[in-house]
Amino acid sequence: VTLDFGDAGSTEKMKKAEGVVKDLLVGLGKLTGAAAGVYKIGDAIKTFVADAAKLQDTADATGELVENLDVWGRAAQTMGADQDQFLATVTKVNRGLQEAYIEGGAFSQFLGTLGIAARDSNGDLRKATDIFGEIAVKWNSFSKSEKAFLGEKLGLDEAMIRLLSKGGDEVNRILTE
């Protein structure tokens, strides 16, 4: 579309106006990109807050420290677990520890197989994150099928079994990264 206003000055003005419009469109494009970036940051913040709330909820329900859940959760993520899987594992293991503490039973026997007590030296109930390191040290003395069986009975997910199978030294290295 060509607009002709009959004089050379008008054509010049139209070219300038066209340049201004193009500059505005480029600026609008940049602004839209920046808005999308802000939206992504907003989503990341929402996810962070939701994940922190899940950690706190699990800590409240299990008596675990948020810091321990965070460190072990990041370690489990290196083996393919997501936060929900890891927190479900911690909840199962803590429930098993409570059962072992109160009534003994199968969970207590499985811990005994590993040489791990449900109670600390003061007689208090231990937490899952307290025993994971001990399990890692002893885990490689078992065959792959024994690990799968014990892992299932202890309530460990596959990612946690893979993590603990790395052995105590490697697990400690991963935890401190």
Tens-place pLDDT, residues 77-106: 999 999 999 999 999 999 988 888 787 778
DSSP assignment, residue 166? T
DSSP state of 118: S
> Is 2's pLDDT higher than 70?
no
Average pLDDT over residues 65-69: 92
With a cut of 60, say whether residue 5 has pLDDT above it. Answer: no
Give the pLDDT band of residue 39 (cuts 50, 70, 90). Answer: low
- Split at pLDDT 50, 70, 90, the class of 4 is low
Q: Is the pLDDT of residue 41 over 50?
A: yes
Average pLDDT for 68-74: 93
pTM of the model: 0.71
pLDDT tens across 128-152, in order?
999 999 999 988 888 888 888 888 8
pLDDT range class, residue 68, cuts 50, 70, 90: very high
pLDDT of residue 25: 72
pLDDT at 1 over 50: no
Q: What pLDDT, on a 0 to 100 scale, did the predictor assign at position 118? A: 86
Q: Please compute the mean of the pLDDT values over residues 158-174 and round it to a whole number.
A: 92
Q: How far apart are CA 139 and CA 60, in angstroms?
A: 29
- For residues 99 and 65, what is the distance between their CA atoms, to the nearest angstrom? 20
